[in-house]
Amino acid sequence: MDIQAIKTYFRTKNPDLTDADLGLLFSKITIHKKIKRFDYLLKEGEIETNMYFILKGAFRSYIVQNGQEYCDVLRCSNEIYCDYVSFINQTPSRYYLQALSATELLGITRADYNQVVLDNWNIERMWRKETERLYIYRVARDNILRLSAKDRIKNLLQIRPALFKEVSHKYIASYLRMTPETFSRELKLLK
Amino acid sequence: MLQINTSLKLLSSHLTDDDLASLLQKWTHKITLNRFDYLCKTGQIENRIYYINKGTFRTYSLDKGIEKDEIFGFPNDFYCSFVSFLTQEPTKNNIQALSKAEVIGINRTDFYQVILSNRKLERVWRQYTEQLFIQRVERSLLLRSTSIQKVKLLLENKAEIFQLIPNKYIASYLDMSPATLSRMLKQL
């Protein structure tokens, strides 16, 4: 597992994090999971008790409404992942969190996480900045969906190029609310 | 100042008057607005957080020339174009008063200076941001419901909105026509 990648990731959130801060955080990262392709990390109705860091593979979070799947989140390696709303509020999840490939994750329990955030100001600050970023991303995503099909793809290619390598295109198409046919047509035109 | 003091304390029971003193003294920009005046327009960079003393507001953006209402502001709310406040990029939003209104604002620089030097305040801001995120997720889930479900949920969660905000803005907020909204309200 790539501890250095996680350290770098956390430090980009808060450059003030010392080795001691990160040592404290890592001492609480006690969960190690491998999830097979198409298996679930969390299902609708369950309560999110952990926060994960993806070491390998990709996930999607989707909701089922009126018999239809809507993919709202795509995450791949070196990103933090969980159902944040359920994690923060401890309410049942509305989402299915599904592995899209063979995946490997590290995780921290909510109880440990809350404790470490209370014990260490630098870690709490990192989480504060991460929360701000989550909010900014969420609004940006709502705005992207108003664009034309071509501009949606262009925008996503710009901000998250890694997704196009790690996630099968039919899920990206669903994430961008277009058919796989439209997606591959527009993607070809862009290249 | 009593009003905002109370609202800040409602955000966290751990905040004392000492914690709040440094923050409150920076809340210095008082603005009064007439109905339909703008607090913030598309393209501007949001440099303040406001606290609404009086009046109601709407935040909308233009989508292919059509106004889309996204958030409403009520007395005792903290309000601004938060994404632009965080990123310091031009906002896509317009914030418009829907009645005579009065707000007080704090500059971004002052705000961050104060919260970065007081851990309890930074924590409250973190928790506030978590809730902004959650509201955003909830709203996108709401918008995917059927028309009748949308109206029902809004009546359950925030019935007073129908007294405070004209129906045409509520219809836009729910992404439906005013005619559909009034039909749904009659059905319920």
pLDDT at B171: 96
Give the closest of B119, B126, B134 to A89, CB-based. Answer: B134
Quickly state the pLDDT bin for A6 (edges 50, 70, 90).
confident
How many residue pairs from chains A and B have C-beta atoms closer than 8 A? 60
Residue A182, domain member (yes or no): no
- The fraction of chain B above a pLDDT of 90, given in percent, is 86
pLDDT at B167: 96
> pLDDT digits over B129-154, tens only?
999 999 999 998 888 889 999 999 99
- The fraction of chain B above a pLDDT of 70, given in percent, is 100
Asked if B82 and A124 come within 8 Å (Cβ–Cβ), the reply is no
* Tokens standing for residue B67: 């106004």
pLDDT at B163: 93
The answer to whether B84 and B91 are in contact (CB under 8 A) is yes
> pLDDT digits over A40-53, tens only?
999 999 999 999 99
Domain count, chain A: 1
Exposure string for B27-48, b = 16+ CB within 10 A, e = fewer: beeeeebeeeeebbebebebbb
pLDDT at A84: 95
> pLDDT digits over A23-72, tens only?
999 999 999 999 999 999 999 999 999 999 999 999 999 999 888 899 99
Residue numbers in A near B132 (CB within 8 A): 135
Residue of chain B nearest A122, judged by CA positions: B119
Kindly tell me if the per-residue pLDDT of B1 is higher than 80.
no
Radius of gyration from C-alpha coordinates of chain A: 17
Contact of B132 with chain A, judged by CB distance below 8 Å, is answered with yes
Asked if B122 and A63 come within 8 Å (Cβ–Cβ), the reply is no
pLDDT at A142: 87
pLDDT at B64: 86
Class of domain B2-118: mainly beta
> pLDDT digits over A106-163, tens only?
999 999 999 999 999 999 999 999 999 999 999 998 888 889 999 999 999 998 999 9
pLDDT at A174: 94
3-state DSSP of chain A: CCHHHHHHHHHHHCCCCCHHHHHHHHHCCCEEEEECCCCEEECCCCCCCEEEEEEECEEEEEEEECCEEEEEEEEECCCEECCHHHHHHCCCCCCEEEECCCEEEEEEEHHHHHHHHHHCHHHHHHHHHHHHHHHHHHHHHHHHCCCCHHHHHHHHHHHCHHHHHHCCHHHHHHHCCCCHHHHHHHHHHHC
- The fraction of chain A above a pLDDT of 70, given in percent, is 99
Residue A160, domain member (yes or no): no
Contact of B78 with chain A, judged by CB distance below 8 Å, is answered with no
Domain range list for chain B? 2-118
Residues of A (109-168) whose Cβ lies below 8 Å from B: 121, 124-125, 127-128, 131-132, 134-136, 138-140, 142-143, 146
Asked if A135 and B132 come within 8 Å (Cβ–Cβ), the reply is yes
> pLDDT digits over B96-136, tens only?
999 999 999 999 999 999 999 999 999 999 999 999 999 99
CATH number at residue A109: 2.60.120.10
Nearest partner of B81 among A142, A139, A143, A147, judged by Cα: A139
pLDDT at A68: 87
pLDDT at A78: 87
User: Of B64 and B168, which is predicted with more confidence?
Assistant: B168
Task: Look over chain B and give the mean of its residue pLDDT values, rounded to a whole number.
Answer: 94
> pLDDT digits over B48-69, tens only?
999 999 999 999 999 888 999 9
Residue A178, domain member (yes or no): no
Determine the Cα–Cα distance for residues B40 and A150; give it in Å rounded to an integer: 30
Residue numbers in B near A84 (CB within 8 A): 133-134, 137
Quickly state the pLDDT bin for A94 (edges 50, 70, 90).
very high
